[in-house]
Structures are given as structure tokens and as C-alpha cells.
Amino acid sequence: MKWKKTISLSVVNRYRFNTILFIALLWTAVDTIVVLTLNTLPAPAGENKLKPLLIREIILFIISLGMGYLLVVYLKKIFRNFSLWTAYLIKSSILILAAFLINLLLYSVNSVSIFGIPLSSSFHRFYGHLFDFRWVFQKMSYWLLLSIITQLILEINEKYSPGVFVDIFFGKYIQPKVEKRIIMFIDLKDSTLIAEKLTSKQNFRFIREFIYQVSTALIENHGRIYQYVGDEIVVSWLYTRRNVKKCIHTASDIKTNLQRTSSHFKKRYGIMPQYRAGIHVGEVTVGEIGVIKKDLAMSGDPMNTAARIKAASTELGYDFVISKDFVEQAHLKEGQTESLGLVELKGKVNEVELFGLKI
């Protein structure tokens, strides 16, 4: 059974676009506030400063989009395997250099468009200002601070699953809430045997690449990654008819991602990753936990049940095994699932009817 899915722009790319747009808007807004507060915008005496301000901020917004792309896409890819402090230091240096070039461009545009000064003269005057410590400090200090804050926001946001940091920041779950959620547990099949065949470093890289392929599919379908435990991923969606479809599409996308990269895994490790997953739906309690390190925690019987379904999937012969509750909530059609009968799950008093999801 092939699941139909139409994507105009991937979720990952939308996330990147929104982040880049956020950076551009943030930097433009901060610059506008700083310029108006310090009254540093050059303009002929007696003339309205609105025009030069608009010119400055339009140029800055366009440049900030480019710098946002540099941060979110290009530099992130380059420094993915660097330590955090090394990447932070190098990226900050690059941003400071970029800030210097931005100031040169803005100064030149202001000189030419507002004061009618020739471009070569504006460069010469800018060069003269570089020996004025107060001028350099005023122009560059807030750019340094802004670049540091921006990188911190990006790192903190990516520490959590998309959306989790925002929920913590605004205190959405300070008081625990009961929510109906779709829960998926997925992990690497035969991980012990794989660990015996590979060296410790090879095994770690194998797991990391497996998790990357799975996580990409989860993020593409708006799954909120709850936690990574070794080679296991726990993910959830708020229950809606639309999110049920996204959960099903996730199953298909995971299979596609791993099939597409199968030659890479075989060439590098000599092993093709296999997986198993359990899906259930029900009411869980969501709330903040932690003192030094805050995070969102989910608890409730659906978490337990999904984990037990995943554990039973290998014996049942299906990569994705789903509960009867999920089948009923998803309104799946005949032929999309196969009944596996009543199954006794470890730790559950009553047997649970399970189905294999055909993908």
C-alpha cells in the first residue's frame, strides 16, 4: 500500500526559512531601535531622517537575510562536527567581519545617496573613522552582542525539539496539562548484534546516522521528538485527524529514507539498518520537570503501551505495529492494516489487539 503525500516545501526548509526570516527581522528591528535611540543616523541638517532610515533598514534587512542563511544553513553544515565553542568562536569572527562590511556598505550608501559624496571619498572617510576607537566601538559593539545572542537562541532552540523551547519560555506547561497524543516509539533492530560486528566508534556513527535519517522523517511530518535513549527515539503528535495522517506518512518516509541511503550504510558499515516501531494514542500528562536543566516530560499509560508494542513488533513480523485504539482513531481503510490478534504485552494486565501497518 503506497501512501500518497504532496509536499510543496519540506518542513525542514520551512523551518530554516522561518529562522532566517526571524534573524533578519530581529537584526533590522534592533538596528532601528539603536539608531533612533542613539540618534546616529547621518542626515543633512534640517532634513527628515525617515528616508535615510528606510534606505538603511531595507539594505540591512536584505543583508541580514544573507547572513541568516550563512548561519542557519551554510556554517551549520560546515561546523556540524566541530565542538560547540570552536564553532561558536569561528562563526562569531565571521559575523564580526560581516558586520564590518555591513557598516562599510551602509556608510557608503548614506554618503552617496544622502550627501552626494563620491564613492571613493566615502571609502576614504570610512577608513579614517577606523582609527577612532569610540566610533568603532559604537558601530561594532552591539553587532557583536547581537551575533552572540542570535547564536545562543539558535543553539537553545535546537537543543529541544522544534516548539518545545517556545513552550518552556512562555511557561505553557508549568502547570501539567492532560493532552490526547499520538505516541511512537522507534528503535534500531538487532542493535546488540550490530555492536558486536562494529568497533565502538563505528557503532556510534552507525547509530547517529540511523537516528539522523529517522529524525528527518519525523521533523518533516511535524513530529515532536520527546527524547533519544540510545538508539531509541520517542516522538509524539497532538491528536488531530491531520496529525494521524502525518504519523502514517512518517512511517512511509522513514522506510524511504533508509532505503535511499542503503548503499551508503552497506558501503561504510557493511550493514543495512532495520527498525521496529510501536504506535498508540491516548491521554498523557505533559509538564515541566527539572531544576538545573528544564525539559518537558510526558507520563501516562499510553507511553508504556507504545513502548511495549514496539518491543513486541519483532516477533509479530511488522516494522510498524499499531494499537486498535490508533486504528479506530485513524479511521484506516481495509487493506491498510492487518490484524495480529490479541497480544499479551509485558506489564499489561489485559491483552491488547494489535495491527500491522502496511507501508
- Higher pLDDT pick, 7 / 312: 312
Distance from C-alpha of 191 to C-alpha of 274, rounded to nearest angstrom = 9
Distance from C-alpha of 313 to C-alpha of 356, rounded to nearest angstrom = 9
- pTM of this structure: 0.70
User: Is the separation of the CB atoms in 150 and 25 below 8 Å?
Assistant: no
Please list the residue range(s) of the chain that carry CATH number 3.30.70.1230.
Answer: 164-357
pLDDT at res. 116: 66
- Higher pLDDT pick, 327 / 147: 327
Res 317 pLDDT > 50: yes
Could you list the beta-strand ranges (E) of the chain.
Answer: 177-188, 224-229, 232-238, 275-289, 295-299, 320-323, 337-343, 352-357
Mean pLDDT, the chain, as a whole number?
83
Distance from C-alpha of 22 to C-alpha of 67, rounded to nearest angstrom = 12
Mean pLDDT of 217-222: 89
Pick left, alpha or beta for residue 22 (phi over 0 → left; psi -120 to 50 → alpha; otherwise beta): alpha
Mean pLDDT of 130-134: 72
Q: Which CATH architecture best describes the domain 164-357?
A: 2-Layer Sandwich (3.30)
Distance from C-alpha of 99 to C-alpha of 101, rounded to nearest angstrom = 5
Confidence band for 3, pLDDT divided at 50, 70 and 90: very low
